[in-house]
Amino acid sequence: MPKHFLMCRPEYFAVEYSINPWMRPEDGASRDLAVLQWERLKAAYEELGHRVSLIDPIDGLPDMVFAANGALVVDGRVYGARFAYPQRGPEGPAYLRWFAERGYPVHEPRHVNEGEGDFLALDEVVLAGTGFRTDVRAHQEAQEVLGRPVISLTLVDPRFYHLDTALFPLDGRNVAYYPQAFSLGSQEVLRRMFPDAVLATAEDAEVLGLNAVSDGTHVVMNAEASTLQLELKLRGYEVIPVDLSELRKAGGGPKCCTLEIRGDK
């Protein structure tokens, strides 16, 4: 099944401030290299037959390339983002406008949440992260807006500040994750819900290997996560490795650059 993704070209990408432990403004980052790597990611999706729509980047919003944070879209309903840090604040309304202009019913959020950074939709439930960015009250709000059960999971390691840095859906029913990124209670929830999950090593997580996008057959993921790639291949997945090392300097990987539009217009 082809998917529909929304992406944002890293036209104004930079590491100018630090809102997560990956970001070191003193080291800088190359916009041109980020654009090149991002273009390859977009091409990888298109080669797999997925549809990619684009939102115009905005000058002064260097993190806008991380489209996953822009909203959560389920059944064509759009639950907007409300960013935790003022540096990214204007991105919320910008993404919401993109959807509103195209006729999607949009919901302006009351509570802080960073879209698909902290919400990952499966067939029956939505997994939701909290602890660093998304307010747990937004989990409740999303459940009401989308009419889907939302399962709250607590993140405890600042390097894995968004749910999508520690877990990704392999399909609508199973996930891969790095257990140590979660509180003990949340680890237990994950074990109960996903007895057949793929468990990632610290090394895989530390290269943002879990910030991956699976269509159920192919997994687009950071090339450096070698153990995880092997494990996925053993399970029958086709791995599409990509190099997003420049975007990782801002704390992002393939999934961060990708907002899935479910139930599109």
The residue from 50, 162, 218, 257 that is catalytic is 162
DSSP state for residue 262 in the 8-state scheme:
S
* Least separation in angstroms between CB 66 and ligand ARG: 4
By CB under 6 A, tell whether 260 contacts ligand ARG. Answer: no
* Least separation in angstroms between CB 164 and ligand ARG: 5
Separation of alpha carbons 167 and 256, rounded Å: 12
* Least separation in angstroms between CB 38 and ligand ARG: 13
* Beta partners for residue 14, in sequence order: none
- Per this entry, what is the length of the chain? 265
Separation of alpha carbons 57 and 8, rounded Å: 6
In sequence order, what are the residues at sequence separation of 6 or more whose Cβ sits closer than 8 angstroms to the Cβ of residue 125?
Answer: 148, 149, 150, 151
Separation of alpha carbons 121 and 119, rounded Å: 6
By CB under 6 A, tell whether 134 contacts ligand ARG. Answer: no
Angle (CA) 210 213 218, round 5° = 110
Tokens in use for 171?
């399909």
The residue from 8, 139, 218, 256 that is catalytic is 256
Q: Which residue, chain included where needed, has tokens 């529909």?
A: 4
Interface pick for ligand ARG out of 256, 259, 260, 261 (rule CB under 6 A) = 256
Interface pick for ligand ARG out of 129, 209, 252, 254 (rule CB under 6 A) = 252
Interface pick for ligand ARG out of 37, 113, 143, 165 (rule CB under 6 A) = 165
By CB under 6 A, tell whether 251 contacts ligand ARG. Answer: yes
Active-site residue 256, yes or no? yes
Separation of alpha carbons 216 and 237, rounded Å: 8
Interface pick for ligand ARG out of 148, 162, 218, 249 (rule CB under 6 A) = 162
By CB under 6 A, tell whether 222 contacts ligand ARG. Answer: no
By CB under 6 A, tell whether 68 contacts ligand ARG. Answer: yes
Distance set, CA 37 to CA 2, 62, 214 (Å): 22, 16, 19
Interface pick for ligand ARG out of 117, 131, 169, 254 (rule CB under 6 A) = 117
- Residue 25 or 49 having the CB closest to ligand ARG: 25
Strand, helix or coil for residue 6: strand
* Least separation in angstroms between CB 103 and ligand ARG: 26
Active-site residue 257, yes or no? no
* Least separation in angstroms between CB 182 and ligand ARG: 15
In sequence order, what are the residues at sequence separation of 6 or more whose Cβ sits closer than 8 angstroms to the Cβ of residue 151?
Answer: 125, 126, 127, 128, 189, 193
* Contacts with ligand ARG, residue ranges (CB under 6 A): 19-20, 23, 63, 66, 68-69, 88, 117, 162, 164-165, 250-252, 256
Provide the annotated active-site residues: 162, 256
